[in-house]
Amino acid sequence: MSDPPFDLRQMIEKAQQLGGAVQRVQEQLRHRSVDVTVGGGMVEATFNGQQELVGLRIDPQAVDPRDVEMLQDLVRAAVNQGLARAREMAQKELEKTAGLPLSGILGGLGGPSR
């Protein structure tokens, strides 16, 4: 028994449909967000699903001119945690849409447009 003929047109149509679905999910992710809090609430950050920092709140008590390094560490921790959570959210949404595991091939997918 031979394999059915390869239908390039059908494959291209499916790829285009998937591309359109991924674009819709990326647009929806722009309006979804994740929040992170570090340092017992001293720094709070909000990221959208496109991994953009859209909000940052620093408790005035965290601003100590004698210990700027602590504030820098808190902001860095909030940014790193927020980016990781935004990436996870985007990956899950894109995997649901594509029906495929996309980890490792996501690259810049879901990241900020430039």
Residue 91: CATH number of its domain: 3.30.1310.10
Cα separation, 30 vs 66, whole angstroms: 38
pLDDT digits (tens, 9 = 90+) for 28-70: 888 888 999 999 999 999 999 888 999 999 999 999 999 999 9
- Residue 26's domain comprises 8-98
Query: What is the pLDDT at residue 113?
Result: 43
Query: What is the pLDDT at residue 27?
Result: 82
Cα separation, 51 vs 77, whole angstroms: 15
Does the pTM exceed 0.75?
no
Q: Is residue 67 part of a domain?
A: yes
Q: Is residue 1 part of a domain?
A: no
111 has a pLDDT exceeding 50: no
Q: Is residue 94 part of a domain?
A: yes
Query: How many independent structural domains does the chain possess?
Result: 1
pLDDT class for 109, splitting at 50, 70, 90?
very low
Q: Is residue 92 part of a domain?
A: yes
2 has a pLDDT exceeding 80: no
Q: What is the average pLDDT score of the chain? A: 82
Spacing of C-alpha 49 from chain mean position = 4
Cα separation, 49 vs 68, whole angstroms: 30
